[in-house]
Structure 1
Amino acid sequence: MQAELDHAGYALTASLTSSPGWWDCATRVGDDRRHVQTGLGSKERWFIMAFWERGVMMASGKTADLAASAGAIGLWQTGSRLRELQTTWPFVRFGELAEAYEHGDPVETKWKLYLQTQARHIDHDLIEAAYAQPRLRMLFPFTSHESLHLSRCTRFPFTHDLPGIFPLSDGTYRVISPNRVHIGHTDTPQEAVSLLIDHLPSDCGPAIDATATELDRSDSTE
């Protein structure tokens, strides 16, 4: 990979990833703001790529052509937008949420995707109840095993300083504080959402385009 980047004229360094199990068959090119990770296919010649920007995987793709892989890396690292990257290297794929990040408005798109999905691990009644509340609709939603969480930032790592709602097997809901303390138990998602809102910080405003690390750094300098 380094030889291909050099041949293409990109002043970039390909390093072996430090991820366990991948250190000898995957490379990372880039910095904390933008990087590309490329892994090798286990049985066939494939260069499997993930294009990242500030905590978000913006695009992915695979190609059997090492030169094409290096070319896509170089274009991404020089600041390419998603559609330019895909037009130049058609093996690259990206979705609606990634494009929303690029346009600076991922919150509404993330809610919309949750509202539209038919995935079984999403509690649709809970999502609809939360989305109906303006104070929650301006935060960035994310889920884990049907539970609903909200972040004050839009990029990973997310903030974990707001209460979460956990659907239970009997159809009821539990609201848990950020430090895992039980806040309350409700019969309906609407009641759970109301309880969560009652325990939001008074200064909890719209989600900011940042990672939790960037947000903490910003807060510490104010």
Structure 2
Amino acid sequence: MSDLIDVDGLRAALEHACPESEIETWDMPGGPKVRLNRGGRAVEVFWHREKSAFWTSYGVGKRSLRRVRATDLMVAIDSAATWLSGATPREFAAAWPFADFVAIADAYERGDRIEYSWQSALVHDPFGLTGFIAAAMNEPRLRTMYPFVQMGWMSFRPTVDEFLVPGPWVSGSRQDDGVFKVCSVDRDRWHGEPLAVGDAETAVRVVVAEMDRLGVPRPEDLRSPSEHRPPAEAGG
């Protein structure tokens, strides 16, 4: 099938299923990519020739809400049509459960930047951190903080706009085996000994204890009104 899919064919199929959409195409070395925009919503479909799979992203403007993999062309096309038709996130999830992004979309629509960052991190994790993220979301102190990932390491800001990050930092493993490493401060990520290497629950306990030792402020002490602004359109 991979030899039969080219940029013109993929565009034609999506254009037929998603009329009145603005369409951009790219004929990339790894395969064709088509982006459609309609009514402030966007879908991007990339055919990965080597893996014989369609990577489909569903978003609002330039903000991706979920990216999923499918091997069936019609799944990519029909799910794109559903999202661009104006279906609510819950209606979309009912039709296409594999691409559920209700929690992300709800946080986005509420303008809850912290919750949006948590939900996005949970489903857009290329660094083997998913188990830690899921456990951290059940820890009350961490849940109110702003999580972010830098060069494969996760840390937390007390507020969205607080850019000073004393630590600690957490990394997963390339094997995605549920083992996590916790380091105290930034420089220790590269040149120091870890505080702990263990499972997700261990990593969460060590992170919270190290925050207390470092004197990391609690969110309620620094809460900024910016937490209640919608997430920025640009970026990922």
- TM-score band by shorter chain is 0.5 to 0.7
Larger relative CO (CA 8 A, sep 6+): 1 or 2?
2
1:1-222 equivalences in 2 (<5 Å): 1-8=10-17, 10-17=19-26, 21=29, 25-30=32-37, 33-42=40-49, 46-53=53-60, 55-58=63-66, 60-62=68-70, 64-65=72-73, 69-88=76-95, 90=96, 93-95=98-100, 98-104=101-107, 107=115, 110=118, 121=129, 131-133=139-141, 136-143=142-149, 145-150=152-157, 152=159, 161-163=163-165, 164-166=167-169, 173-176=183-186, 189-194=207-212, 195=214, 197-198=216-217, 203-205=222-224, 207-208=227-228, 210-212=230-232
Q: In structure 2, the residue corresponding to 1:211 is in which secondary structure?
A: coil
CA shift digits 1:161-193 (9 cap, x unpaired) = 24142259xx8742349xxxxxxx989534431
- AA matched with 1:82: P
Report how far residue 30 of structure 1 moved. 1.7
* Distance across 2 between alignment mates of 1:208 and 1:131: 21
Report how far residue 209 of structure 1 moved. 5.8
Q: Which runs of 5+ in 2 are unaligned?
A: 1-9, 172-180, 188-193, 197-205
* Distance across 1 between alignment mates of 2:35 and 2:69: 15
Relative to its length, the structure with more helix (as a share) is: 2
Question: What is the aligned residue count?
Answer: 186
RMSD of aligned Cα (Å): 4.9
CA shift digits 1:129-177 (9 cap, x unpaired) = 99343xx532332445454234855xxxxx6724142259xx8742349
Q: In structure 2, the residue corresponding to 1:35 is in which secondary structure?
A: strand
Q: Which runs of 5+ in 1 are unaligned?
A: 154-158, 178-184, 215-222
* Distance across 2 between alignment mates of 1:140 and 1:205: 12
Scaled by the length of structure 1, the TM-score of the pair is 0.55
In structure 2, the CA distance between the partners of 1:205 and 1:3, relative to structure 1 (3 Å rule), is same
Report how far residue 196 of structure 1 moved. 5.2
Scaled by the length of structure 2, the TM-score of the pair is 0.53
